[in-house]
Amino acid sequence: MRSGGICFALAIGMTIARVMTIVGQGNATDQPVPKPKMESFAGTIRALDVAKRVMTVETTPLSKTFGIAPDCQVMTKNKPKATLGDLAVGNVVTVTYQKEAGGLLVAYRIEKSAPTQETDGAERIPPITI
């Protein structure tokens, strides 16, 4: 009789443990999945496809291509709620992004930080007036 009571108590304990795991109160060793950390990258836009929501930003010698999240915030100096249409190749931007599964870089915030740079690499010297 005594061994039957022990078996019954073990069965109840195992059932309670299973129910607690199902409702999210499992073992203390269960670790929550960490969220990917946000990173930032500053550079010049070298390619921008608004329709495909893809952008390449370059800081020589690095270049990164970003997928642009549907809820991505775009900001410019004069327009805090800008759109992708307010950006152009040659703009200097800071991109806040996450590296997603598979290595895809997804932009969640794009901030235009300077006027458009010249894209032909030539240094522009203002004319001298006498």
Instruction: Report the percentage of the chain scoring pLDDT > 90.
Output: 52
What Rg do the C-alpha atoms of the chain give, in angstroms? Answer: 27
The three-point CA angle 78-90-122 to 5° equals 125
- For the CA atoms of 24, 25, 28, 30, what is the dihedral angle to 10 degrees? -10
Tell me the two tokens of residue 96.
């806040």
Give the mean model confidence (pLDDT) for residues 61-72: 96
The whole-model pTM stands at 0.63
Contacts of 6 (CB under 8 A, 6+ apart): none
Are residues 93 and 87 in contact, defined by beta-carbon separation less than 8 angstroms?
A: yes
Q: Which helix (H) or strand (E) holds 4?
A: helix 2-22
- Band (113; pLDDT cuts 50, 70, 90): confident
Stronger pLDDT, 55 or 130, i.e. the higher one: 55
C-alpha to C-alpha distance for 118 and 125, rounded to whole angstroms: 12
